[in-house]
Chain A
Amino acid sequence: MSVTIRFSGEFLEGRDGQSIGGILLVGGHRTWRTAGGSERGIFCGIGVCQDCVVTVNGVEGVRACQRTACDGDVVEREVRR
C-alpha cells in the first residue's frame, strides 16, 4: 500500500503508515520550515521539539514527525521569524 502527498506542488510517494516527515525525507527534502532565518526539519523526531511543524490541508502547526501521512494530504512549508 502506498500513499501520495503533495508538498509545495510536488507529488511524493510513501508507504502506508509512514509519517509526513518520513515521506519528505525519502523524497529528498531535509528541511521544510524556516525559523529565525535558518532552515529546519526533523530534530527530536518524537514530537517534543516542534521544529518540524508544517501546514497540513490548511491546518497550521502539525508535527511532521508525528502525523501519519494520508493519501492526498497537501503539505505546506511554515515560516517563523
Chain B
Amino acid sequence: MTRVVVIGAGPAGLAAAASASRAGAEVVLVDEGERIGGQFWRHHPTFTARRLQHQLGRFADLQRALEEVTVLSSASVWRVEAGAPLRVHALIGPVDGAQRRGETLEADAVVLTTGAHDRVLPVPGWTLPGVTSAGAVQALAKRDGVTLGSRTVVAGAGPFLLPVAQSIALLGGEVAEVVEAASAVAIMRGWGRRPWELIAAAGKAGELGAYLGTLVRHRTPYHPGSAVTRIHGDGSVEAVTVQRIDRDWRPVPGTARTVECDAVALGHGFTPRLEAAIQFGCELTADRFVRVDSQQLTSVPGVHAAGEITGIGGADVALAEGEIAGLAAAGVQPGDLRYRAPLRARRRLRAFAARLATHGIRPGWTGWLDDDTVICRCESTTRATILAFADASSRGMRLATRAGLGPCQGRTCGRSVEDIVGAQSGAGVRFDQRPVLSSVRIGELAAHRDPAPNPREESRQ
C-alpha cells in the first residue's frame, strides 16, 4: 500500500488527503492547528457566526472523506528529508507546549500543502497596538468572535480585503474605509478584460459581488490607487494618513488626508510558506513558488505540492490542485478518468487566479518609509540600519542588523528587507530558506533521536 503524508490541512491538503485515501493509499494528514481546515476554514464548531464562514458544505464533504485517514492535529513539522522513504519529523502536543512528543513519519509520497500567510508592507507606525494583518481580523472574527477596534481602516491590495471588511461589519464594527493600492484603471483592465473567464469561475465572481454588496449596504468608502502611508497614535492607533500612490506605488505628494480610526488591518497579498519544499530540495519558479508539473509533482521524486505554495489563487483552485496531487501521490496514472473533473476545475480557476496580478506589489512602496521605521518587528531593526549594511553580504547584513534573525525567522519582514536592500544596492538577499521549519525548544531538539539513515542516503555518503 502506498504511504502518503500530507503536510497542511487547509483546502489543498484536505482535498489531497481525501483523494489519495479514496484511491487506496494509506494517508497521514499532519497539521499544526488544533482543528483541520487551515486559514480558510478556521471557524469554531459552536460559536462562529455561520455567515462568516464560506463553503461549509464543501468542508463537511471533505471531513467525511477523511474516515480512513490518520489525522495528526497539533503537529508541527520541523524537518523533512528527501530519499526513499521520504521522512517527515513532527512534534505533537499543545501549541508551544514544553512536553511535545517527537514522531518521524516515513512515506512513499508526500503532498506539500503548507499554504501562505499575509504579506504586510511596513508603514511608519505599524507597530502601534491596534494594527494587525488583514488575516488576523479574519482569524479573530472566525475563531474568537471578536474585532479589535470599533472603527477600522482596511488597507493593502487585492480582493481579500473585501471579506475582511465584511467580517468586521458582520460583527458590528465600523469600517472607516477600504484602501486599495491598485488603481481604478488597473482594476478595470485586470478584472474587466476577457469577462467570460470570470463567468466560468462564476462562484468566485459571485462571492466578490456579495462582498461589494456588503460594502455598499454599509456605505463603506472604497479608495483604489491609494495607500495608508502613516499610522498615528500615542500608545495606540488614533488615525492614519491615506495618500494617492502612482502606478509604481510611490506616494503622490500633496494628496495626504487623515482618517480617524482605532484599528488598522493591513494586507498586501500573500507569501507562500516554502521552507518545507526548499528543505526537500524542490525547484522554485522565477517568482518563487514551488514548480510543479501537470500532476502537481515537484522536481523531487515523490514530493507533490498544491495550493498557495504553487501560486496564490485562493481556496477553490487549491481544492482542485489538492485533489490532483492526492491522486498522483497515490499512484493513479495520468489519463485516468478521476483526473478529469479537477483538471477542468484547475484550468478554469487559474484564469481567475491570474487576475490577482492586478494587485501585485510595486517597488515604489519603500517611498512611504522613514529612516526610523521599524522593518523587522522581532528585532526592532529600522530602515536606516538595514540601509547602512545594504552593500554587505546577505549573511553580513543579517548578522550586523539582526533583521530576520528574531523568533519569526524573517517570515514577517524578509521580503520587505529584500525590497529595501535590492532598491539600494541591487543585491539579491533571500530569506526563504530556514533549516528548522517551525519553533522547536532546545530540550525537544536535544531529546530527538534520528532513526537509521535511508539506505540510499548511506550509499551516497
- Enumerate chain A interface residues (CB-CB to B < 8 A): 15, 17-19, 21-23, 25-26, 30-31, 35-51, 53, 59, 61-63, 65-68
Find out whether the CB atom of B129 lies under 8 angstroms from the CB atom of A35. Answer: no
Q: Knowing A15-B145, A30-B130, A43-B131, say if A67 contacts B96 (CB, 8 Å).
A: yes
Q: Which of B218-226, B243-251, B321-329, B403-411 contacts A (4 or more CB under 8 A)?
A: B403-411
Find out whether the CB atom of A30 lies under 8 angstroms from the CB atom of B129. Answer: yes
Find out whether the CB atom of A48 lies under 8 angstroms from the CB atom of B412. Answer: yes
Q: Knowing A45-B133, A50-B406, A53-B407, say if A59 contacts B96 (CB, 8 Å).
A: yes
B121 partner residues in chain A, CB cutoff 8 A: none
Interface of B is mostly: loop
A39 partner residues in chain B, CB cutoff 8 A: 129, 235-236
Per CB-CB distance, the 10 closest pairs between chain A and chain B, nearest first, are A45-B136, A22-B144, A36-B380, A50-B407, A45-B139, A62-B96, A30-B129, A67-B95, A66-B95, A50-B408
> Could you list 12 A-B pairs, sorted by A, with CB under 8 Å?
A21-B144, A22-B144, A23-B144, A31-B129, A37-B380, A40-B127, A44-B118, A44-B120, A45-B133, A49-B412, A61-B439, A66-B96
Find out whether the CB atom of A51 lies under 8 angstroms from the CB atom of B377. Answer: yes
Find out whether the CB atom of A50 lies under 8 angstroms from the CB atom of B378. Answer: yes
- Enumerate chain B interface residues (CB-CB to A < 8 A): 32-34, 39, 44-47, 94-98, 117-118, 120, 127-133, 135-140, 143-146, 148, 235-236, 374, 377-380, 406-408, 411-412, 439
Find out whether the CB atom of B132 lies under 8 angstroms from the CB atom of A42. Answer: yes
Q: How far is the CA of A15 from the CA of B44 in the complex (A)?
A: 11
Find out whether the CB atom of A45 lies under 8 angstroms from the CB atom of B47. Answer: no
Find out whether the CB atom of A35 lies under 8 angstroms from the CB atom of B32. Answer: no
Q: How far is the CA of A59 from the CA of B407 in the complex (A)?
A: 16
Minimum distance in angstroms from A2 CB to a CB of chain B = 11
Contact of A44 among B33, B46, B136, B146 (CB under 8 A): B136
A37 partner residues in chain B, CB cutoff 8 A: 380
Minimum distance in angstroms from B133 CB to a CB of chain A = 5
Q: Knowing A36-B374, A41-B129, A47-B32, say if A26 contacts B146 (CB, 8 Å).
A: yes
Minimum distance in angstroms from A37 CB to a CB of chain B = 8
Q: How far is the CA of A47 from the CA of B286 in the complex (A)?
A: 28
B118 partner residues in chain A, CB cutoff 8 A: 44, 46
Residue of A nearest to B148 (CB): A25
Find out whether the CB atom of A30 lies under 8 angstroms from the CB atom of B236. Answer: yes
Residue of A nearest to B32 (CB): A47
Find out whether the CB atom of B96 lies under 8 angstroms from the CB atom of A43. Answer: no
Q: Knowing A44-B133, A48-B408, say if A63 contacts B96 (CB, 8 Å).
A: yes
Residue of A nearest to B265 (CB): A45
Q: How far is the CA of A14 from the CA of B265 in the complex (A)?
A: 24
Q: How far is the CA of A59 from the CA of B332 in the complex (A)?
A: 46
Residue of B nearest to A69 (CB): B144
Q: How far is the CA of A19 from the CA of B20 in the complex (A)?
A: 33
B140 partner residues in chain A, CB cutoff 8 A: 21-22, 25, 42, 45
Find out whether the CB atom of A44 lies under 8 angstroms from the CB atom of B95. Answer: no
Find out whether the CB atom of A46 lies under 8 angstroms from the CB atom of B47. Answer: no
B95 partner residues in chain A, CB cutoff 8 A: 47, 62-63, 66-68
Find out whether the CB atom of B411 lies under 8 angstroms from the CB atom of A49. Answer: yes
Find out whether the CB atom of B148 lies under 8 angstroms from the CB atom of A42. Answer: yes
Residue of A nearest to B134 (CB): A45
Residue of B nearest to A32 (CB): B129
Minimum distance in angstroms from B26 CB to a CB of chain A = 29
Q: Knowing A42-B140, A46-B139, say if A59 contacts B408 (CB, 8 Å).
A: no
Contact of A42 among B136, B411, B439 (CB under 8 A): B136
Minimum distance in angstroms from B347 CB to a CB of chain A = 30
